[in-house]
Amino acid sequence: MLENIDLSLVNWSRGQFALTAIYHWIFVPLTLGITFILAIMETIYVRTGNEEWKRITKFWMTLFGINFAIGVATGIILEFEFGTNWSNYAWFVGDIFGAPLAIEGIMAFFLESTFIAVMFFGWNKVSKKFHLVSTWLVAFGASLSALWILVANAWMQSPVGMQFNPDLARNEMLNFREVFLSPVATNKFIHTITSGFVLGSLFVIGVSSWFIIKRRELVLAKKSILVASVFGLLSGLMLIYSGDGSARLIARIQPVKFAALEGLYDGCEGAGLIALGVMKSNEEDTLCRKSYDIPLKLEIPYLLSYMAAGSWDAYVPGINDLIDGNPEKGMLSAREKIERGRHARETLAKLKEARDRGDSAAYMELKEKFYDTGFKESYFRYFGYGFLNDPDSLIPNVPLTFYSFHLMVILGFYFLLLFFVFFILVWLDKLDNKKMLLWFAVFTIPLAYIASEAGWIVAEVGRQPWVVQDLLPTVAAVSHIDAGSVQVTFILFACIFTCLLAAEISIMIKQIKIGPKEGGK
């Protein structure tokens, strides 16, 4: 249906956006997590009057400032790419995607950027309580900024609270509350910010562990570990809880992604959850479709069915069911969805023709036909499928989704155990001689970033080929520009972002080696 689309343009545009998002996401989680740790530390300082806590807070604040400055640069570029590379998408989503981003800029970013100046430069210039309020407002501002961006992303994952305008061929918001408080938005926000809290906690524990290994700043290190381990432990528990809720939502609104998470090709009742597994390409594929077996696996019986539907013997559809259809379970085939999508697009074209020639009777008849018996049963529900030709294009990269998901989960439980162990040991003051454990904490910092990026891969790669679930595929969302220009900017951004990352790491390491200023001045 999109024979004129340059697939190299689509791939380069996807690559450029993924590159920018991956680099941007390196900086965001630390900002989300460490700001609340700063606020907690400063609260202890204000309540106790202990100048050591002020010194501790200012040290971690310096590291936060380095990260924040570079993160803003990548975020601005990311938003510009919606207009340059994804103009069809920007038009199709209408005011729905733009509204949360506008609120984020006006409300959250201004709040954060205003009080961050007080937080950094207001020591000894404003009262202790006003400075503390400023620090808390920066923390809330960072999370508020994430909230509006995640609301926009959640709508792409599960479009609600809108109506398609056939005259303009774009979606328009009908119910802001439904968009803002959708189950996907609520769950995505909680899961994302708690992942940032976990990463920020691991960063503080890892750096503090290095100080203990080097026998430097022992008071700062142990107090920081105490705060970070408690904050990280509570955040980790909430992260796991929200992750379970996320799995249930994915099973309902993105069943192909859910099947890809577990490499499940053939649906079954009482499906087990794979805790560990190694995928292998299936050489005896009878469907002329590339598929994978998991010959080596550690499986928890029945748990996948319970996660998906709250029942131990519930039927979990596999990729083959969802693509080829399963009449017994009431599942349409991808081919049938594509036909319905084409019917919706043809009806939309006829509707526009009737409007242009002024045939109001035909226009109203076609408009009613376009929406049929309501959104959930109408042909419009499958509008996006009309842009596709190959049913197998609806299958995401299964190995990448599978391994990213399991790596994220395994590391999540490891982080939780690490928080618990560090809390017990620092509480009992027995960390000094645990050199191997301390080095584990140092090297856990990059693992935290890997887990965070893996979560992003699961969320975005797992839902391909959709930009807006079931309504707009990636191939129909790109701007009509030259692929060569995207290649040039891809290379340019890759160089710039890599240099920025190298600069941040270098500055961070230098600042950590310098340590906190004496007396917290």
Q: How do residues 165-221 score in pLDDT, each as one tens digit?
A: 877 778 888 888 999 999 999 999 999 999 999 999 999 999 999 999 999 999 999
| Confidence label for 287 from pLDDT (cuts 50, 70 and 90) | low
Angle at 69 between CA 65 and CA 75, to 5 degrees: 135
Residues in the chain: 521
pLDDT tens digits, residue range 106-149? 777 778 778 888 898 889 899 999 999 999 999 998 898 889 88
The whole-angstrom separation of Cα 62 and Cα 58 is 6
Confidence band of 284 (pLDDT split at 50, 70, 90) = low
Categorize the per-residue pLDDT at 1 as very low, low, confident or very high, splitting at 50, 70 and 90. Answer: very low
Backbone phi, psi, residue 316, to 5°:
-110, 115
d(CA 200, CA 456): 17
Q: Sort 88 into a burial class: Cβ within 10 Å, 0-12 / 13-18 / 19+.
A: middle
- 391: pLDDT strictly greater than 70: yes
Is residue 2 very low, low, confident or very high in pLDDT (cuts 50, 70, 90)?
low
Across residues 154-162, what is the average pLDDT?
Answer: 90
Mean pLDDT of 411-440: 94
Instruction: Yes or no: say if 109 and 54 are a contact pair by the CB < 8 Å rule.
Output: no
CB neighbourhood size of 23 (10 A): 23
Residue of 292, 338, 336 lying closest to 318 (CA atoms): 292
- For residues 382 and 335, the answer to whether their CB atoms sit within 8 Å is no
Distance CA 107, CA 511 (A): 32
Tokens of 449: 């970033």
Strand runs (DSSP E) across 216-316, as ranges?
Answer: 268-269, 273-281, 292-300, 315-316
Residue 234 · residue 297 · CB < 8 Å: no
Q: Are 185 and 151 in contact (CB under 8 A)?
A: yes
CA distances for 460 relative to 78, 325, 464, angstroms: 15, 24, 7
C-alpha to C-alpha distance for 115 and 122, rounded to whole angstroms:
10
